[in-house]
Chain A
Amino acid sequence: DAGITQSPRHKVTETGTPVTLRCHQTENHRYMYWYRQDPGHGLRLIHYSYGVKDTDKGEVSDGYSVSRSKTEDFLLTLESATSSQTSVYFCAISDPGQTNTEAFFGQGTRLTVV
């Protein structure tokens, strides 16, 4: 398995509280991503990073912010959690090679906002 660690793996939080999810990689891959997955849906891209301090929005970025101060860490922050952000969050990494360009995914963080 690719060296991707998500923390925490499970979290329950109250509406209106800030929450930060961490993704740590040991592969030195350039790109890092945050996806969310809701029941009956495929994964949807929230934000991604193409380098240290370089980030961009994905399909469902409203209510989320990200930061990448080091190659190995990509943080996803919910400034004020809402019940609609209850979901499973997946981090992924990839490298812009010519052939092996697949993405590797972490094991997910299950977030419940009550």
Chain B
Amino acid sequence: DAKTTQPPSMDCAEGRAANLPCNHSTISGNEYVYWYRQIHSQGPQYIIHGLKNNETNEMASLIITEDRKSSTLILPHATLRDTAVYYCIVRVVQGAQKLVFGQGTRLTINP
């Protein structure tokens, strides 16, 4: 699975859009970009995933560059409850989801 690079921490004001970047320059053609988050000490929670087109769901939007070497997770209107560690993971979609978690980005939403 391709390696990802994320900033260790970010801050965002409540109500503003939080944009979390991820670099995955060695991503393969059949690998998807997945985002999970972990709030405090709870189990990680799936957010969104995509291959090459931009994706949006009720939680977030995922923007993947045309060359697929980087992506951005967007939380459109961040709330205090979005404070968490966000993990960007790349892997194939089929088979076992043997996720490789890096250090992630610790996002703090400030009031």
A residues apposed to B, CB below 8 Å: 31, 33, 35, 40-45, 48, 50, 58-59, 88, 90, 92, 94, 96, 98-99, 101-108
Q: Which residues of B are interface residues toward A (Cβ below 8 A)?
A: 34, 36, 41-46, 49, 87, 93-104
The answer to whether A42 touches B43, judged by C-beta atoms less than 8 angstroms apart, is no
Interface residue SS majority, chain B: loop
Q: What is the distance, in angstroms, from A105's C-beta to the closest C-beta of chain B?
A: 3
CA of A41 to CA of B102 in the docked complex: distance in angstroms? 7
Inter-chain contact B99/A45, CB cutoff 8 Å = yes
Chain B residues contacting A104 (CB-CB under 8 Å) are: 46
Tell me whether A33 and B102 are in contact (CB under 8 A): no
Query: What A residues does B104 contact at CB under 8 A?
Result: 42
Contact B102 A102 (CB under 8 A): no
Measured in the bound complex, the distance between the Cα atoms of B98 and A31 in whole Å is: 10
Q: Complex formed: what's the CA distance from A90 to B58 in Å? A: 25
With A33-B98, A42-B87, A96-B95: A108-B42 Cβ-Cβ less than 8 Å: yes
What chain B residues lie within 8 Å of A43 (beta carbons)?
A: 44, 99, 101
Docked pose: A96 CA to B98 CA in angstroms: 12
- A-B CB contact pairs (8 Å), 20 listed: A31-B97, A40-B103, A41-B103, A42-B87, A42-B101, A42-B103, A45-B98, A48-B96, A48-B98, A90-B43, A92-B43, A94-B96, A94-B97, A98-B93, A101-B93, A102-B34, A102-B46, A105-B43, A107-B42, A108-B42
